[in-house]
């Protein structure tokens, strides 16, 4: 497959049945400002290794679905002059055919991960249903991708800019199982608790892995493990609520739609909080990478 390039270390780990964790690139290219973006990418890879798994950062480089990329390739992909696209699952065929550069979203990343044989991925916040979606129909393809791709995703819930209640309902309709990681509350990305309860919680990577292994026998969907940011790392509640209002107003006034909405709202959050939201975003992504790696190790153990 000339359109698929799996890094040697990742390929060897997969062939030997060892733990591999897919990491996305949209957060690096479109989600976090430089130099935080490349720093956090390196920290995620280190966190995955520290937990005994192999990291596979996924993106599209000149039309090649690239599974596992070193820091120099990632740096090139994130170079603003390169105008790397934001690629969801549906975009991959055109990106291959036109030899484009692009960062993959959760939807794009799990599609490539599954194609490459990787069953676990980590991100910051899953995409979801946007506020006002009953008019705009703006619902992230992350949800429908998870409903047809058997990859376990670790995320700190969904970003608080979204309609969290509606997102939880859609995950239910789509048959995507959700459990809190050592919490009974659905996390609110920058905050531990979005105010919504969860039906399931898991206390260990082993139970998360066992649930996924069982689920895969009768369902084609992925599974969401919702890992909240550490208590002492979350954004102050008042700061959060003020920033959220400002970011939503900014997005509405800018007239931006579609896939540009999430990046512009994240950037406004960072500006309004003078970088505090970026700090929280960094902490939660690295924590998710670590939890994903622990789960991937447990998944590998179950299948050996």
Asked if 228 contacts 181 with a C-beta cutoff of 8 angstroms, the reply is yes
- Decide if residue 105 touches ligand PSU (CB under 6 A): yes
User: How far apart are the C-alpha atoms of 193 and 51, rounded to whole Å?
Assistant: 26
Q: What is the dihedral of CA 6, 10, 12, 16, to 10 degrees?
A: -120
Helix locations, 140-199, DSSP H = 141-146, 164-173
Q: Which is nearer to ligand PSU, 138 or 298 (CB)?
A: 138
Alpha carbons 171 and 268: distance in angstroms, whole number: 27
CB of 59 to Mn ion, least distance (A): 19
- Rounded alpha-carbon distances, angstroms, from residue 10 to 43, 81, 118: 18, 29, 9
| Contact pick of 10, 22, 26, 209 for ligand PSU (by CB under 6 A) | 26
By CB under 5 A, tell whether 45 contacts Mn ion.
no
Residue 259 binds to ligand PSU (criterion: CB under 6 A): yes
Indicate which residue of 24, 45, 139, 268 is catalytic: 24
The verdict on 222 binding ligand PSU (CB under 6 A) reads no
| Residue in 123, 160, 167, 277 binding ligand PSU, rule: CB under 6 A | 123
Whether 24 is catalytic: yes
Nearest to 163, CA basis, from 179, 146, 186, 192 = 186
Q: Give the rounded distance of the alpha carbon of 109 from its chain centre.
A: 8
**Position 281 contacts ligand PSU (CB under 6 A):** yes
- Segment contacting Mn ion (CB under 5 A): 135-143, 172-180, 225-233, 282-290? 135-143
Does 91 interact with Mn ion (rule: CB under 5 A)? no
Contact positions vs ligand PSU (CB under 6 A):
24, 26-27, 30-31, 105-106, 123-125, 127, 140, 142, 259, 262, 266, 281, 285
| Residues carrying an active site annotation | 24, 159
């Amino acid at each position: 497959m000339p359109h698929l390039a799996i890094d040697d270390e990742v390929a060897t780990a997969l062939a030997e049945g060892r733990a591999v964790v897919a990491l996305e690139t949209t957060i690096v290219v479109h989600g976090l400002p430089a130099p935080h973006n490349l720093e956090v990418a390196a920290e995620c890879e280190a966190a995955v290794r520290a937990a005994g798994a192999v990291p596979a950062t996924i993106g599209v480089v000149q039309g090649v679905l690239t599974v596992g990329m070193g820091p120099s390739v990632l740096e090139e992909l994130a170079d603003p002059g390169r105008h790397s696209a934001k690629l969801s699952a549906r975009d991959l065929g055109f990106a291959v055919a036109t030899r484009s550069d692009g960062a993959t979203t959760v939807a794009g990343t799990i599609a490539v991960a599954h194609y490459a044989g990787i069953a676990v991925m980590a991100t910051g916040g899953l995409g979801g249903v946007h506020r006002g979606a009953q008019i705009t129909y703006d619902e992230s393809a992350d949800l429908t991708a998870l409903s047809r791709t058997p990859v376990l995703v670790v995320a700190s819930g969904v970003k608080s800019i979204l309609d969290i209640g509606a997102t939880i309902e859609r995950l239910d309709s789509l048959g995507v199982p959700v459990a809190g990681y050592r919490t009974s509350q659905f996390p609110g990305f920058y905050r531990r608790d979005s105010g919504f309860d969860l039906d399931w919680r898991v206390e260990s990577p082993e139970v998360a892995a066992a649930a996924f292994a069982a689920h895969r026998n009768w369902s084609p969907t992925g599974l969401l493990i919702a890992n909240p940011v550490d208590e002492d790392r979350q954004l102050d509640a008042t700061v959060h609520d003020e920033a959220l209002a400002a970011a939503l107003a900014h997005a509405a006034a800018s007239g931006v739609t579609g896939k540009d909405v999430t990046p512009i709202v994240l950037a406004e959050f960072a500006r309004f909080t003078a970088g505090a939201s970026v700090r929280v975003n960094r902490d939660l992504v690295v924590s998710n990478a670590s939890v994903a790696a622990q789960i991937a190790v447990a998944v590998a153990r179950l299948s050996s």
